Structure 1
Amino acid sequence: MDTSIQMKAMSSEVRVTILRLLAKPHEHFADQWSADPAELGVCMTLIAKALGVAQPTASRHLEILVQAGFVTVAKKHRWSYCARNEPMIAEYLEWLARELAIGKGSQGAV
């Protein structure tokens, strides 16, 4: 995965908030009736509502998170459901920890 896309994804408080909300789908999206939010994911409409933004705005933020690999989208009937991609988030955090490690031997280009 391109870490520059991942860093862009994490540079927005709205996108970080989306990841926080999706971390506890039953807590934040208990009113989702069309599918279990922990199993299939959360409907994009409910994410927009939770953020207090228009659906196209939420969709754009979600698209960046999908490009970064942090969110997956599953389609069921008319709806698209979003869920965190935990392995990719963990991989990014491990990469970031290595990059920011004190005493790191090599320095990459900026």
Structure 2
Amino acid sequence: MNRSMQIKAMASELRMTILRLLKAPKTHFSHQWSADPEAFGVCMTLIAEALGIAQPTVSRHLDILKQAGFITVQKHQKWSYCMRDEQAIQDYLDWLKHEIARD
């Protein structure tokens, strides 16, 4: 995994907020009607609405999170759905903890 991309992804408060929202998709996106937000992911449009930002802006942030491996994106019809990759996030946190504690 590209650690520099992961560090870049975590260096943005907006991207951290996206990851926090995606941690509890049923809580934050229960109004999503097109697919179960927990099982299928959250539509990019709803993420943009939740953050109060334009869709192209959220798309760029989501792309960085995807490149870092922290989210997966799957397309269905005309929508793209995002879901956290819990294992990738945990691997990053484990790596970071190890790096910070190193002599």
Rg larger in structure: 1
The 1-side partners of 2:30 and 2:40 are apart by 13
The 1-side partners of 2:35 and 2:44 are apart by 12
Structure 1 residue 56 corresponds to structure 2 residue 61:
no
Q: SS of 1:100's equivalent?
A: helix
The 1-side partners of 2:74 and 2:82 are apart by 7
Identity percentage of aligned residues: 63
Question: 1:42 is aligned with what amino acid?
Answer: V
What is the aligned length? 103
The 2-side partners of 1:97 and 1:88 are apart by 14
Partner of 1:89: 89
Q: Specify every segment of 5 or more residues in structure 2 that has no aligned partner in the other structure, as ranges.
A: none
The 1-side partners of 2:3 and 2:23 are apart by 21
Q: Residue deviations 1:19-51, cap 9 Å, x none?
A: 000000000001000000000100000000001
Scaled by the length of structure 1, the TM-score of the pair is 0.92
Structure with the higher fraction of residues in helix conformation:
2
Q: Specify every segment of 5 or more residues in structure 1 that has no aligned partner in the other structure, as ranges.
A: 106-110
Q: CA RMSD in A?
A: 0.5
Q: Structure 1 residue runs of 4+, over 2 Å off? A: none
Measured after TM superposition, the shift of residue 65 of structure 1 is 0.1
Scaled by the length of structure 2, the TM-score of the pair is 0.98
